[in-house]
A and B are shown apart, each in its own frame.
Chain A
Amino acid sequence: MSKRTITVTVNGQTHTADVEPRLLLSDFIRHTLGLTGTHVGCEHGVCGACTVLWHDPEDGPLAVRACLTFAVQADGAELTTVEGLAPDPEHLHPLQQAFMDEHGLQCGFCTPGFLMTLVPFLQEHPDPTDAEIRAGIAGNICRCTGYQNIVKAVRKAAGQMGGGDGA
């Protein structure tokens, strides 16, 4: 299968690589770029573990299933993965801190997918109700936590990100 040259910017760094058209974006991120924070749980778009942010110039960051995207589709795109979520090495994103504070993770495998889903969610719903949070994360499956502490973490992060009292 002949390769195509693509250029993708991930977490602010631009990469150029020759890839097979069938290479999944999730495999490109994890294995070609070595950013293993994005995980693969199902390869059929249900579990959400592979969620990354795709920065659309008009719509802003969109949560995207990397397992359902081909790397060649991301040619010219700007992406953020969990490794790019923290503002700097000394500080965590409020979502990351809140997940730690509220025990919103156990094995941690689904966590990057949740975090990336929640970034655009909180932009759209800065002061979400619990029902809205649960609906917002219904596309991410966790097998460990039963979601309760994840919801608490989102409430806390929303509060800290200036979304009212997050009630």
Chain B
Amino acid sequence: MTTRWFGARIPRSEDSRLVTGRGTYVDDVRVPGTLHAAFLRSPFAAARIKSIDVSRARTLPGVHLVLTGFDAPVLRNPCPLLIPNPQLQHPKTQVPLATEVVRHVGEPVACVVADSRYEAEDALELIEVDWEPLPAVHYLEQAAQPDAPRVHADLADNVAAHMVQQSGDFAAAAAAADHVLKLRLYMDRGTASSMETRGLIAWVDPGGALQVYDSTQAPIPIRNFMAAMLGLPQSKVRVVAPDVGGGFGPKVMMMYPEEVVVPYAALQLGRPVKWIEDRRENFGATTQERDQLHEVEVAFNRDGEIVGLKTVYLHDQGAYCPYGLQNPLITGTTLPGPYRLRNYHMEFRMLYTHKPFVTPYRGAGRPHGVYVMERCIDALARHLGADPNDVRRRNFIQPEEFPYDFGLTYQDGAPLRYDSGNYPEMLRMLLEMIEYDQFKREDQPRYRAAGRCVGIGVAPYVEGSGIGPFEGVRVTVEPSGKVMAATSVGTQGQGHYTSFAQIIADQLGVTPRDVFLTTGDTDKFNWGTGTFASRAAVVAGTAAHLAAAAVREKALEVASRILEAAPEDLELADGQVRVRGVPARAVSLGQVAARAMPLRGTLPSVDYTPGLEAIRYFAPSVGTFASGAHAAIIEIDPETGDMKVLRYCVVHDCGNVINPMIVEGQVHGGVAQGLGGVFYEKLVFDENGQCLTSTYMDYLLPTAREVPEIETDHLETPSPLNPLGMKGAGEAGVIPVAAMMAEAIDDALDHLGTEKITEMPLNPARLRAIIAAAGALPQAR
């Protein structure tokens, strides 16, 4: 009897290690003789380095090495540009250790390696840098001015990229439309702040290979760049992403300065060298995201049909752009959402500023796109006196209109073409779940009569996911009957060990507990990119399916010779291959594997590979488009400005779901990060580019008291683009939160006549100010 594991809500196999404290995060990796690194980082947002004197630091007992960029070209030359683009006119990347100029607080200029981290930090205090502070440009509109201080002196201004994409003719559409509204919308910086900071340990093993354990989401590209930069063969460098305590995007960045300096130091010293980022460093040395300013025009007719939209936006890239222009590109191509948007003009300037640089953080620019689109929907609905959901329904792409091509190019270089979805049904399910009509008709009037500010917000979104280039999986059945699998993607809590095992188990007639997955070890599997952009399940999951299917075929063929039956009469179940209907004629999968690796004789043909093993890759040419909708009922205390979520509902469509428990967990976590970005988390920089919110006392991560209970429901519109019909899920929870909460806050305060929300994040003081500006603060008692 075959059990179907795909779709099953089974507990995770990785958990028994983790709940007993037997996880192996990078700082848990203990190699005898390890030395510890600490980095001297710029205290200035912009400064020229006139000189660096490390002589006193070198003499401190316990110090083994002090490095600056002057010690080797690899330590001072720019790191690779990961994703070039013709519209990225002026790319600039970071260097490992700055020698001339620093461009953000936290940029490294020297590295001390000592017997302990404590002693290394002692030595940092003995390094003397002669700094010449320079004027810093720290906010977007300032950076855009032609006379602003230039972050890169050899550029004419601070524009790293200028991109325009358009479909149709916005100007003509706007001229012909009944109405045109203008909005100015702003979203500010946040940081992923995974609970485990970054870190790596590097050493040279007795065979001369460089071993690196790195808390990264992308060990294979890290290995490739490390090998290239350090002048080593790829086969002599191994990078392992062990247990990673949260990634969320900033850990798929390469090369961080430390990822060059630490292995370099290990090679120099012939000793293991470890660096673990502390939380304070994380606020300056790990990438951040979210800063954009949009000037928007939306053209629409009196029946609510949107006939055109134009957004011209500025994106704050920080000091460097190794990741190219992906974030703002994703913003503009996510903006159309579930709507029929012809006559669309997206135009952005990506600007350098003297701030930590920007790479994707969960959502990767999508939240901004959804925020802009939904603020437009709200504004035009208000203008027409209509309910925003009527406007949404009026403009939805209908289920029969797929595939739907926007005439734009997505972040993977492929056409922006939605494969499947059912947006009207998604919205209907959501509004029913949160009892929208009842709230508007009965509950809200009651709340208002009682003097309470309670409102409801809704926002749908479409998320491009599952993009290429490719990932691979090798599946091997061992003579024990256990199944080993190795894949290129890394894992940071998404449960790949379990979900991929479910896919493989289905093909091989075993249970997921019989499948042992290795992820993120370049020695075990060394072709692939990494875990990002909500793609691991789709791309690596499909590769796992294809590899397991190939092993299944081979198992049937080998078993057919053992059992003397035709392969089509055989089935795989319960860890055996057996004749269908004749359970006594069976052989265990392990025996089949042993037969495929003979000690005598030969193999059936020259093309035949030994063992019960297959490697398969999946290389999608286009992404697949997941979707969802969130709604929340919130209450604002008009006296304190504080906000409380009373109900939170999600309808989520990621196609066919491997493990609903894992997907729901991803949604919960994403919503929490989204709420953080709405109301609690904001990176604040002063006019000198100093981050004023660089501890958890100032940068507030939501706790269990702030994150509500989240009710979820699934819709499954399978993707036609991969055999299991999957779509991505990792970022979904965060994407519509800001847009949805803006609508909810506006609705909660609507009866007070407040100005509508145009910025994110907010906080109690800001809401109080908005209420006060409407003259609606409660009277002092």
Contacts and interface: CB of A to CB of B under 8 A. Distances in A.
Interface stretch (A32-40, A56-64, A68-76, A159-167): A32-40
Interface stretch (B9-17, B230-238, B401-409, B417-425): B9-17
A54 B528 CA distance: 46
24 contacts: A22-B118, A35-B21, A36-B25, A36-B30, A41-B197, A42-B279, A43-B279, A44-B696, A47-B696, A86-B20, A92-B19, A100-B16, A107-B195, A107-B243, A109-B25, A109-B195, A111-B18, A133-B704, A137-B703, A141-B696, A143-B246, A143-B672, A144-B669, A145-B668
A96 B670 CA distance: 24
Given A44-B695, A108-B245, A141-B696, A37 B195 contact: no
Interface in B661-676: 661-662, 664-666, 668-673
B696 A42 contact: yes
Contact of B19 (A46, A108, A109): A108
A140 B323 CA distance: 33
Interface string B625-667: 0000000000000000000000000000000000001101110
A138 interface: yes
A38 B194 CA distance: 16
A110 B245 CA distance: 8
A51 interface: no
The 5 A-B pairs of least Cβ separation, nearest first, read A37-B21, A109-B245, A107-B493, A108-B18, A146-B668
Contacts of B505: none
A99 to B, nearest CB: 5
A82 B20 contact: yes
Contacts of B107: none
Given A44-B695, A100-B16, A103-B665, A37 B22 contact: yes
A77 B18 CA distance: 26
B20 A83 contact: yes
Nearest to A95: B19
B193 A138 contact: no
Contacts of A137: 703-704
A110 B279 CA distance: 14
B246 A107 contact: yes
Contact of B671 (A30, A111, A146): A146
Chain A interface helix/strand/loop/mixed: loop
Contacts of B11: 100-101, 103
B248 A143 contact: yes
Q: Which of A49, A111, A115 has the most CB of B within 10 A?
A: A111
A107 B19 contact: no
A151 B703 CA distance: 12
Interface stretch (B537-545, B705-713, B745-753): B705-713
Given A42-B279, A108-B18, A134 B705 contact: yes
B704 A82 contact: no
B701 A143 contact: yes
B278 interface: yes
Contacts of A23: 118
Contact of B707 (A109, A112, A135, A146): A146
Interface string B695-727: 111000101110101100000000000000000
Nearest to B668: A146
B707 A144 contact: no
A12 to B, nearest CB: 15
B196 A41 contact: yes
Interface string B188-200: 0000111111000
Contact of B662 (A22, A103, A134): A103
Given A30-B27, A147-B704, A108 B20 contact: no
B257 to A, nearest CB: 21
Contacts of A158: none
Interface of B: 11-12, 14-25, 27-28, 30, 118, 192-197, 243-246, 248, 278-280, 492-495, 661-662, 664-666, 668-673, 695-697, 701, 703-705, 707, 709-710, 733
Contacts of A81: 21
B100 to A, nearest CB: 32
A10 interface: no
Contacts of B665: 103, 106, 144-146, 149
Contacts of A46: 695-697
B705 A107 contact: no
Contacts of B669: 106, 143-146
A10 B191 CA distance: 36
A20 interface: yes
Nearest to B279: A42
A41 B709 contact: no
A101 B10 CA distance: 9
A5 interface: no
A22 B193 CA distance: 27
A26 B670 CA distance: 30
Contacts of B17: 108
A9 to B, nearest CB: 17
B642 to A, nearest CB: 15
A118 to B, nearest CB: 12
Contacts of B248: 143
B27 A148 contact: no
Interface in A82-140: 82-83, 85-86, 92, 96, 99-101, 103, 105-112, 115, 130, 133-135, 137-140
A58 B118 CA distance: 35
A66 interface: no
